[in-house]
Each structure stands twice: as structure tokens, then as C-alpha cells.
Structure 1
Amino acid sequence: MLAGISGNLFLLRKMTPDDEKTSRKFDDIESLNRRAADMIAQLMAFARKGVVQMKAMDLGQFAHEAVKLARVGIPENITFTLKVDAPGSFIIKGDATQLQQVLLNLLNNARDALKGIEQPRIDMRLSRYDPDSQFLENHVGAHNHPHACISISDNGTGIPADTLKQVFDPFFTTKEVGKGTGLGLSMVYGMVQSHHGLIDVKSQPGYGTEINLYFTLQHATLHSSAAAPAQPETGGGETILLADDEEPVRHAVAEVLESFGYRVLQACDGLQAIEIFSRHYKEIDLLILDVVMPHYGGPLLAGKLREIVPNIPVLYATGYDRTHLLEQEAGKKSHVLTKPLDFHAMNRVIRSLLN
């Protein structure tokens, strides 16, 4: 659905006269669409089916940016501090979307625990941690390597010892009825695990809670990527076979492609795609395939069409984790994009595959 919304929004923006008020409305809708996509990605990640994009990142820089968003939900009467030891030295391999949600959930929980507390306070610190023997004994499978430790503490109500072991259980909550779903900390736990990280909770009723997150430090160097061109080159009448079983999504994407200057043939599933390709393979320049659809999903369908034209370029679109597909397609003329699509990015990939 979000892919269809983003496609139609892209087209509406192109069709609408450019004025500041209208542009702001489009920006708001696009922002909400991205937030909805992020929320779905987080839920799918918790179910271990999501798109997890692990890359080298500076956790210190990320913490400063993430806190800007989190501070919006923290009342002014709560003292909040962030301390980053040795900025620039905390390189980890992580997914920024997941880690943003982890920090938001933990900071929101700390905020809720401060209700009715005099001089409420939340402290967040990023520091280096070198595991000792006790840590390695407490965390089976932990590696004896330097870690980045994110610590979030509050002076709130605290958590009783008899419930502390349950805080990561799905649907368990210490909040009053209607104030919590019981999914926040269980999602945090799942996301930390997806980063091969560790989590500790210390709490004492009447004194507050401290949560520590540990991520293995990397020796990777961050490389700044060149800025993408604002206006990618348009198509030159090339023919694209687009296969997607969601009709609104398919029509929206086809119209966007046509606005870029391509000719588009549409298929509602794998069987129709094979039928169309068999008739028009001499004129089709590129395939855009949904990874999951009836009668041959994208990878299987691509294999069958490559029996006819071995080197046909393929662009896959998916809302799931693309890691396995990237490995499967290694060395082939293909690319994988995540839904909802960024259409300018999609066009740049198309030009790259065709050129």
C-alpha cells in the first residue's frame, strides 16, 4: 500500500503547480509515508522478516542526531544529559532505523517512569566497554572484544525485582491500563539481538533504572558517499517489463516510469510476465520484478526469463530482507531496491543497469 501511495504522491507532485504551501503539504505526506514504512520495517524486524540494512556507522554522531528527535517527547521539567566519551571512536555495524527506535523506546520508558518524581532526570552516555570475566560469564556467547556501551538511566520509580526478569516478554508492561502495549522493550530486545548486541537492566524501586546496550566496536573506516545528482537523466524510450501482483502499486510505478521516458509492459504475476516476455523479448530492455507474487516470484521468474535472454538486466523490488537475494544475485546484472521505492533512486539504478 505504501508503495502505491508513494507512487501516486510522486505523480501528483509533478502534476501540481510548484508553490510553497502545496510543497509543504507534499513534504508532510512524504514524511508520514516514510515514518509508516519505518514502523512496518521495525515490526518486521521484530518478526525477523524485515529489511535490516547493516552498515558501518559512527554511533556517537548517530546518538546526537537521534536525541534531537527523542527530546521532542521529553517534557522541559525533566533534566536530560548526553555525554559521548571520545567522539569519533565508536564505529559499529548497525541499522540506523532500528537503533533510532531502540533509543526512542528506552527514552520514552524513562520519561514515563518519572511521573510524580521531584527533580526528574534522564542521563544518557556513550562509552567504551572492555568486557571482564564476570560480563563474559553473565552473557553466554559474548565476545571478548571492545564494545560501545549506550547507558540510559533515570531516577524514576524503578522496577521491582520480581518483575525485572519479565520486562522483555512480549505484552508484559508495568504501566497502567491503556498506557502501554507491552511491546516496547520486547522490540528493543529483538532489535539489539539483530545487531548481535547485548542488553543489561539494573533497577531498584524508588531509585530508578539503568539500561545498558553493548555493541561490538568495528575497525572499519567510514567513507562519505558522493551526493547523488538532483536530476537523474531520463529514459530514451527503452522498454521495461514490470511485474507486480498489486494492481494499484503496478499502475502507479508504471506511470512514474512513463513520466521518466520509458515504455512499460505490465504483468500481474509470473505467468503473465512469461507470456509477455515470450512475445516481446526482442524489444524488452529491462525487468522490474516484485520479489513475492503468485506463479513465480521475482528470483524464480528472472531465472526463467534469463533462459530466453541470459543477460537481461533485472531490478527487484521487495519489502523484506534483501540480504539473501543480494547473495543469490551476486555477479549478475541486477539490483535490489526496498519498498516503498525512492523513484529518483530507482531511475538512477535503471540508467546504471541499462548503460
Structure 2
Amino acid sequence: MQIPAPSDLRLFARQSPTPMAVLGPDGVIAYANNAFTRLLPADAPFPEGRRPDELPFHARFLRVLEDGLAQVALTGMEQLVEMGDPSAPDRELASCRLVPLPGGEIVVEVHRHAEVERLRAALRDEKVLRRQSDMLRERGRLLFFDVVNELPVFVYMQRRDYSVAYANKKTLAFYGEVGGRRCYQMFGGRDDPCPHCPTFRVFDTGEPVDWQFTDDAGRTFHIYDYPFEDENGEPLVMELGVDITELKRVERELFQAQKMRAIGVLAGGIAHDLNNNLVPIIFNVDYALGKADNTPMEAPLAEALRAAYKASELVEQVLEYSRQQEVSRSPLHLTPLARENLAILQGTLPDHVRLDMDCSADNDCVLANPSQVQQVLLNLCRNAVQAMPGGGTLSVRLSNLHLDSQKEAPHSGLALGDHVVLTVSDTGHGIEPGSAERIFEPFYTSKSKSGGTGMGLAVVHAIVTCNGGTIHVDSVPGRGTTFTVYLPCTATPETKTLARETRPAARSTGRLLLVDDDAGALQAMQRVLRDAGYEVFTASSGQEGLKEFFRGKGRFDLVVTDQSMPGMTGMEMAARVLEHAPDAKVVICTGHVEARLEAQARLTGVAGFVMKPMSPRTLVENVNKFRM
């Protein structure tokens, strides 16, 4: 029974069937209810204002009561003492409950035998329930921590003093044993607390927070912090960390892909006009240079021609990076290609740069385009040479890597199976840590003062990934840089002996139809082809080209048409021509070839493509080739 507050005690006791009395600090009965008064004989004095030993209670009752009151005074805690019936010493029927009150008063409750048994039973039940509740709570706690310990995310609990109260298996696998370390020592490798730690907002507000954290090993986690408390009620913060390192890597690759698509759109939009402008510049400067031998105009014209070719190379790199030029791929052995190109490169190296080459790959066959692989190799080698202005060693290695599981992978993202590994290292000045992640971005360069365009490594990255491979860079400032390219191996093709084809000798003259909407490009190409001995007819649009073709009754050895023209594209014009003259040869002249355009050309019967911009010699060679 719960004892009411002293102010309500008289009202409660007056209605209670249980004998109750209140003893003051001086041991005098301050109040006794009717049930307590009925314990006394009818002629006994009224109990209030008297001490218990002044009333006609049995001696045993008084002795036990005195001992119980002494225990209450000593411990300050409630006591339950057994005694005989205060009015009938021969019967052991009662128990007395002594409850201390504020102010030094003590409540005396006298329970007869049946009430005592009920009270004892209630106390026993309460203890059993409390013990069962404690057992269930402990089982639930153990189950909770068993589950948390096996979670695939790191979970730990932190106190206000930065100490770690608990860490699950994943946390220990990442950061080792707790060993009394503070959280900033364990996770950040710091000697002092992290500034602006979000975890302490949970202690202050009691509200959960989430944030991201990158540890000193480069792993990135999304953190979820929740308010918690231990079994003693001490406030804690429970922290869950989800490893998003791989997600961040994919996110960076998607961002890179988005930039590539954006540049692809840009390249597709400007390539036609830019190439059309470069064609007459290159052709006319080349023509003028041929007429300016041994004159003061020769040097400036040669310089202008070099600049025009450099601009055309930049357009080609942008198109290569944007992957709008789909290239054919076939099984390719890298060792002979590397040896051939490195032998040529060695002759152009400065005296203070030494080439160290090791092509020891047993399986060097990949599915790739030779020109693209050559571009990757030479771009990486040129970068390495430029990084060693004071001299050093350029090392090129070809080796193999076989992966049976991702645990063995030297870098994330590598596919299982066999790889050819191309490694290009230098002993130069290295890459600054802040720049290492940006070197594959288009137009990012640290060599702007020396004429760098920022497209070389971007093109390398695009070619490697387009061929199903990956590229990684490791660099130490002042000690050098290593680029590692992984390309998946492919089956070595069977060697077949082909019969030698006999082709008729190329004619030195022929009749050509040249179609282009840009007057400058049209005039420049016409002049070059006429100087090469061809009879050239021109048209400034697709519609006009059709009229000229049928006006000439189809007696053209070759039709060379621009692709991007208003009104009618070159492909549409070619389809009309080939529909009426299936034996005609039509070549599309364009700045970039999309996969869809290439497929359409095969279906239509187009002979091939000539890429803009080109040199006068390249134009003539292509016309000679397609005219045969």
C-alpha cells in the first residue's frame, strides 16, 4: 500500500479498515484511526497523546515495535516486522509495517494474519515481476547488440567526453580496437577534437542529424546520428556509418560522363562550321606556301599553317573525347605496336631523357583500334617527357594481371578476368595532390603557359574507358608520376593466309563532283584537286548536286559531298544518287562520324568518309583511294 502525503493521511486513515497510527518525532502517537483504537480494550485510555508503551499492549508487541522503530531511525527505510496480536499474546496473528514520513513522523500499520499473507504474496509477486522484467530487458539488450554487431554498416556509441562506449564488428574492422581511444583519435587520426562536430548537436538538441565524413584512409561514409542512453540512463549518441566510397566513385564517373555528353553536344554543333573554316585556311595557306619558296613570306606562311593544323588537331581531340567518332575495333597485339612507336619516339627524345622499356606481357591481345592505342601511348609518353625538363627516366611497361576476385584488385572498378597492363612512369616533378583528381577533365591543364590545351589526358581517359578499360594515376610531388592503364584481354585471332589482290593501276586523271555549302572550302578543295589532275565540277547544295550529277548523265568517277548542308544533307543526296545509279561512288566529307551515320552509310551504299579538316595531300590521297 502506498502511504499518502501527510496532509491527506487523516482522511485516508479514517476510512481504512487497517489499524493505523502516526508517531511523532518524540515517539508520541499524534494520530490513531478507529481501527487502531479498536485494538485496545474498551476501558483503555484514548491512544492520541500517549506513547505506545503507555497503552495496554502485550509486552512482545511493544518489544518488536521498539526494535522496528529503532531500525527505521537507523536506516531511514520502511520496515516490516512480525509480532503477536497486540491484544492477544497467545496468538501469532499480526505483522507491523513501519513507514517513515518527512519531518520525522512514522506511520504504524498493523496487519492481521490474512492481510500479512496477502501483503507478503504481493511483495513476492512484485519481486518476481521485477526479476522477470529485468531478465527480459537484459535479453532484449543482448539481442539488440547481437543484431547491431552483425550489421554491414559501422555502428558505435559515443559519450559526451568523446569516449567510445560501444563499437560493432564493422567499426573494429575499419578502425581497430577501441582501446580507450577518443572518437577523434579513432576515426580522424587527430590529437584534438574535430571542429564543429555534428554529433554534439544531438547531445544538445536531442534530435537526430545526418552528414558525410571522409576518413584519413579516403573512405567516405554517410553518417546518421541518433540520441541514445545506456542502461544507467547516461546520454549517448548512436552513430551509423554507411560506406558510400564506391557510390562516390560512380557519382564522379557519372559527372565525368555528363561533362563528356555536354562536350559532345558542343563538338557536334561547332565541328561542321569550324572544320569548314579550317579547310580553306589550310588549303590556301598551303597553296601560297608552295608559291613562296625562298621568299620572305615563306616563314610566316609556314607558321600560320602549323597553327591551322594545331587547331584542326584540337577539334579532332574534342571529337575523340566526346566519342562521337565511332571507330572499328579488332584483336590487336600491343607488344609490336608499342615497340614500333617507342622506337620512333626514342629518336625524338631529348638527350637528358632515358627510355626504359619492358614489354613482357605473355598475353598482349586486346580488342581495340590501333590508332587509338597509339594515341594513348604517345600522349602518356609526351606528358612524361614534359614533366622532366631537367632530365630523367621514362619507363614503359607491358604486363598481365589476372583477377579472380575483387579483393585482389589493385583498384576498384576492375572487371574480373585477364588484363593487359600498360604502365608509363616518369621521374619528374609529379602532380600536386589537389590536381590529381582533375587531370582527366577536359580543358584542365597545368601547362597553359607552354601551350597545353587540357585535352590530351581527357582523350586518353575517353579512349581507355570506351575500350572497356580503366586508367589510374599515382604521383608523389618531386618524385614522379605513374599512369596505369588496364585493358581487358581478348582471344588471339587465327592467322589466315590471304590471296594477294590485284588492283588496276590508279589513273592520274578523272571526273569529280564536289558538293559543299561553304564557298571557301569548296573553292579551296576544287583548286587542290584540279592541280592534282582531276576535272572538278562543283555544287553549293544537295539539291544542286543532284542536278549536276544527272546533268552529267552520271559520268562521274567519284562524288565527294559535305554532310551538314541546309535543305538536304550529304547522306540524303547520296541516297538519291545511289537509288538511280547503284554503281556510283559517293564519299561523305564531314567533321565527325556518329554511329548512326556510319550505319546509315553502310545501308545506303556510301563508299566511305573523308574527315575534315584535312591537308591537301590527304584529300588527294583519299580521292585516289575511293576512285579506284
Q: TM over 0.5: same fold?
A: yes
Which amino acid in structure 1 is aligned with residue 332 of structure 2? M
Q: Is the 8 A contact 2:512 2:535 kept in 1?
A: yes
Return closer, same or farther for 1:135/1:312 CA change in 2, 3 Å cut-off.
Answer: farther
Aligned pairs for 1:306-317 (under 5 A) are 306-309=578-581, 312-317=584-589
Aligned pairs for 1:122-133 (under 5 A) are 122-132=394-404, 133=406
Which amino acid in structure 1 is aligned with residue 317 of structure 2? Q
Gaps of 5+ in 1: 17-27
- CA distance in 1: counterparts of 2:453 and 2:283, whole angstroms: 33
Corresponding residue for residue 131 of structure 2: none
Q: Secondary structure at the match of 1:202?
A: strand
Corresponding residue for residue 623 of structure 2: 346
Q: Is the 8 A contact 2:575 2:604 kept in 1?
A: no
Shift of 1:301: 1.6
Shift of 1:35: 7.2
Corresponding residue for residue 384 of structure 2: 110
Higher gyration radius (CA): 2
Kindly provide the CA deviation profile for residues 68-118 of structure 1, in whole angstroms up to 9, marking residues without a partner as x. 45446643233320111157x5233334444334333322333344456xx
Corresponding residue for residue 151 of structure 1: 423
Q: Secondary structure at the match of 1:93?
A: strand
- CA distance in 1: counterparts of 2:306 and 2:449, whole angstroms: 27
Return closer, same or farther for 1:4/1:178 CA change in 2, 3 Å cut-off.
Answer: closer
Aligned pairs for 1:297-336 (under 5 A) are 297-309=569-581, 312-321=584-593, 323-330=595-602, 332-336=604-608
Q: Is the 8 A contact 1:120 1:155 kept in 2?
A: yes
Q: Which deviates further from its counterpart, 75-84 or 90-99?
A: 90-99
Asked whether 1:178 is paired with 2:178, we answer no
Which amino acid in structure 1 is aligned with residue 544 of structure 2? Q
Which amino acid in structure 2 is aligned with residue 154 of structure 1? D
Q: Secondary structure at the match of 1:146?
A: strand
Which amino acid in structure 1 is aligned with residue 380 of structure 2? L
Asked whether 1:43 is paired with 2:318, we answer yes
Return closer, same or farther for 1:317/1:138 CA change in 2, 3 Å cut-off.
Answer: same
- CA distance in 2: counterparts of 1:182 and 1:100, whole angstroms: 19
Which amino acid in structure 1 is aligned with residue 367 of structure 2? K
- CA distance in 2: counterparts of 1:184 and 1:177, whole angstroms: 13
Q: Is the 8 A contact 1:43 1:50 kept in 2?
A: no
Shift of 1:45: 0.6
Asked whether 1:77 is paired with 2:348, we answer no
Q: Secondary structure at the match of 2:355?
A: strand
- CA distance in 2: counterparts of 1:172 and 1:131, whole angstroms: 33
Q: Is the 8 A contact 1:74 1:108 kept in 2?
A: no
Q: Percent identity?
A: 25
Q: Is the 8 A contact 2:402 2:418 kept in 1?
A: yes
Shift of 1:320: 1.3
Shift of 1:53: 5.1
Asked whether 1:290 is paired with 2:567, we answer no
Asked whether 1:251 is paired with 2:523, we answer yes
Which amino acid in structure 2 is aligned with residue 147 of structure 1? H
> TM-score normalized by structure 1?
0.73
Kindly provide the CA deviation profile for residues 175-214 of structure 1, in whole angstroms up to 9, marking residues without a partner as x. 4772455444333212322333210122334543221011
Q: Is the 8 A contact 2:361 2:398 kept in 1?
A: no
Choose the corresponding residue for 1:270, options 539, 542, 564. 542
Return closer, same or farther for 1:55/1:30 CA change in 2, 3 Å cut-off.
Answer: farther
Corresponding residue for residue 23 of structure 1: none
Q: Which deviates further from its counterpart, 193-202 or 49-58?
A: 49-58
Q: Is the 8 A contact 2:325 2:592 kept in 1?
A: yes
Return closer, same or farther for 1:73/1:11 CA change in 2, 3 Å cut-off.
Answer: closer
Q: Secondary structure at the match of 1:321?
A: coil
Asked whether 1:233 is paired with 2:516, we answer no
- CA distance in 2: counterparts of 1:183 and 1:78, whole angstroms: 24
Q: Secondary structure at the match of 1:334?
A: coil
- CA distance in 2: counterparts of 1:111 and 1:292, whole angstroms: 40
- CA distance in 2: counterparts of 1:178 and 1:12, whole angstroms: 31
Choose the corresponding residue for 1:196, options 468, 476, 486. 468
Which amino acid in structure 2 is aligned with residue 220 of structure 1? P
Shift of 1:284: 5.1
Asked whether 1:242 is paired with 2:514, we answer yes
- CA distance in 1: counterparts of 2:352 and 2:429, whole angstroms: 17
- CA distance in 1: counterparts of 2:283 and 2:504, whole angstroms: 18
> TM-score normalized by structure 2?
0.45
Asked whether 1:167 is paired with 2:422, we answer no
Q: Is the 8 A contact 1:59 1:91 kept in 2?
A: yes
Gaps of 5+ in 2: 1-276, 293-302
Q: Secondary structure at the match of 2:473?
A: strand
Return closer, same or farther for 1:184/1:160 CA change in 2, 3 Å cut-off.
Answer: same
Shift of 1:2: 5.7
Corresponding residue for residue 25 of structure 1: none
Return closer, same or farther for 1:176/1:50 CA change in 2, 3 Å cut-off.
Answer: closer
Aligned pairs for 1:13-32 (under 5 A) are none
- CA distance in 2: counterparts of 1:184 and 1:50, whole angstroms: 16
CA RMSD of aligned residues (A): 4.3
Q: Secondary structure at the match of 1:169?
A: coil
Corresponding residue for residue 220 of structure 1: 493
Return closer, same or farther for 1:318/1:81 CA change in 2, 3 Å cut-off.
Answer: same
Q: Is the 8 A contact 1:41 1:50 kept in 2?
A: no
